[in-house]
Every structure is written in C-alpha cells, then in structure tokens.
Amino acid sequence: MKLSFIVPVYNVASYLQKCVDSLIAQDYSDYEIILVDDGSTDESPQICELYATEARQYNDQLPSIKVIHQPNCGLSVARNAGLSIAQGDYVCFVDSDDYWEKNVLSELMTQIDKEHLDVLRFDYQNVRINNEGLYEAFQPYKFPHRVDIRHDVVDGETYMDERMGYTCYAWQFVINHELTSTFMPGIHFEDTEWLPRMMLKAKRVNSTSRVIYNYFIREGSITHVQGNRAKVKRNVDNCLDVIKQYNLYIEHYPNCRWLKNMRSNMTVSIIALVAQHLYDERRYYISRLNDLKVFPLTIADQGRTYVHKARLINISPLLTIDLLYFKNILIK
C-alpha cells in the first residue's frame, strides 16, 4: 500500500460526503481511506459505514475504506487511531469538512517517487459556501499561505528555516509513514507541536505550488470558535505546553531559526490574549513565560504588527500587557 488518507470525523454529516467523494475521485489506485469516527452524535457514523460497505462491494472500483468508531477523545487521538492501522508507506491527513481537488494524487506520488521524498508539501485554498449554497474560494483567512515554490530538495530543518513559514497544518503534507509519530492529545495546537517534530527527522523535503486542498471555513469548526474565559485559559495553557516542547527541540537543534521564531510568535499571542481576557492573571503568566526562558524574543519578519509588539515585549512584558489592556478598553 502506497498511501493512507486519515480522516478524523466528528459531527460533520453535512460535509462528510463531499470530503470522502473527493478522496475517491483520484487518478491513482494504490491507497486507502481510514475514517475515524470520534464519537459523533449525528449521522456521521452511518455515513462512514455506508462508504465502507460500498468499498467492499465495489473493491475493483473503489479504494479500501476502513472505519474506526471510538468515544469522543479529540482530533489528536482520532489521528493517532488512524495512524495505528494505516498500511500506507505514506500518510496524508484530511479534515472531514475539507476536500481535495480531483485527479491530483498521481501527480503528487509521481513527484515523491521521482525525487525520493520523505515529505511533499502542497498548496491549498480557503473555501466557503456562498449565498447560493455553492462552494467558492476566497482570499486567505489569516496569513499568506502560499508555499515556497523553489523546486529543490532539502532536509527538514533547512525547509523549516527557509521555506515553511509559520502556518502549521498537518493536512498540507504527504509524509513518509516512518516519520510520523503520535499527536499530543488534549490540545488545540496539535499541528503546531507535531509538525516540527516530524519535519526535523526528514532528510528529503520539497514543495509543489499546485493547489490540492480546499480548506473549508465554517462557523463551529474547532479552530474558529469564539472563546469564553475558560476556553482562552485553555488555549493559553496549550500554547505554553507547545513552547515547552519547542524548548526540548531547541536543545537538540540549537540553530533552527524556525523553532525560535515560532516560540516568539506564540509568546506574542499569549501576551495579547492575557491582555484582552486574563489581565488579572498577568503576573502569573509572565512568570510562566519567564520560567520557559522565552525572553528576549527573536525579531523575525512576521509582519509589522508582530515586530512592534515583539520589540515592546523585549523592553517590558508587563508594560506591553498594560498598554494592550488599556488600548482594548479605549476601543470598547
């Protein structure tokens, strides 16, 4: 088996068919689809079973489709469950409300074989459902996402430092199965922690500028939920956990600029969240950041706003939180 698609599924009955149909509609035959039902309470489990049954009945026309049913444990655990049974030499993660372009897999696998790649990164576009009920592409949601299209094979650390940028999506890669390891459970930033751990082991990495993946922006997706105080605290604690892991990686890869820049990026985000939502606990969080030895921040080219905030934080994290706090009050 050459490739395994791993698709965590949770309450996406309205979108799951489009996702799975897009994986079936590929110009390649040596792959499987693993659907991991993570305790869905809608019709998603039945849809998964229907696809598995059809794959068994029409095994000469459809790829193998396997289904795992488990109690709701979150995205990381669902991905880990898929990894545990994946038979492919390579793996690719797909979120169950997103979908692939048709007939593109053969092109990707050809490049992987030709260049003997451990990791191939591809491009994506954001999509939404318009007023007519049709999917349409639209401009990037948060950050510029275009991949570096230089066509040369490099090791994972070089790729991170020179070409990857600071958006981290596990679903944007085809990955040698031997490089995959389990995702950290119970956090919302599992990709951000997992991706460098995978990439730093890779010896041969390259990109394609071909748009392969359609990233569906919808209300209610786990990455776009407006958080109350408890959710903000959890997100900040998750960021601190990821920074702790980055510190361990930096011990082994002290020259990796991406790790240091990403650590600083997450610190700037923590400072902003604390100022806006957790101001009364600002000294506690500054103490935790000091314990993680994140200061002084590296000043990477991540946009003018980031640079200004990072420089101010290096002067005084507490002053920065105070200024952001009072700025938020004035805006309100």
Summarize pLDDT for 202-229 with one digit per residue, the tens: 999 999 989 999 999 976 444 444 558 9
In the block, tokens 């905030």 appear at 309
- Mean pLDDT (the chain) is 92
Size of the chain, expressed as the number of residues it contains: 332
Q: What is the pLDDT of residues 247-267, one digit of tens each?
A: 999 999 999 999 999 999 999
pLDDT in tens, 286-307: 999 999 999 999 987 777 888 8
Residue 238 and residue 270: Cα distance in Å, rounded?
10
Give the count of beta carbons closer than 10 Å to the beta carbon of residue 182.
Answer: 15
For residues 222 and 188, the answer to whether their CB atoms sit within 8 Å is yes
pTM, full prediction: 0.93
Is residue 146 over pLDDT 70?
no
> What pLDDT, on a 0 to 100 scale, did the predictor assign at position 226?
52
- What is the rounded CA–CA span in Å between residue 87 and residue 169? 22
Find, among 194, 288, 185, 152, the residue nearest to 233 by Cα: 288
The band of 313, judged by pLDDT with boundaries at 50, 70 and 90, is very high
Q: Which residues contact 147 (CB under 8 A, 6 or more apart)?
A: 121, 122, 123, 163, 172, 207, 208, 209
Distance separating alpha carbons of residues 37 and 77, to the nearest angstrom: 11
Give the pLDDT of residue 219: 62
Give per-residue burial for 117-139: e unless 16+ CB within 10 Å, then b: bbbbbbbbbbbeeeeeeeeeeee
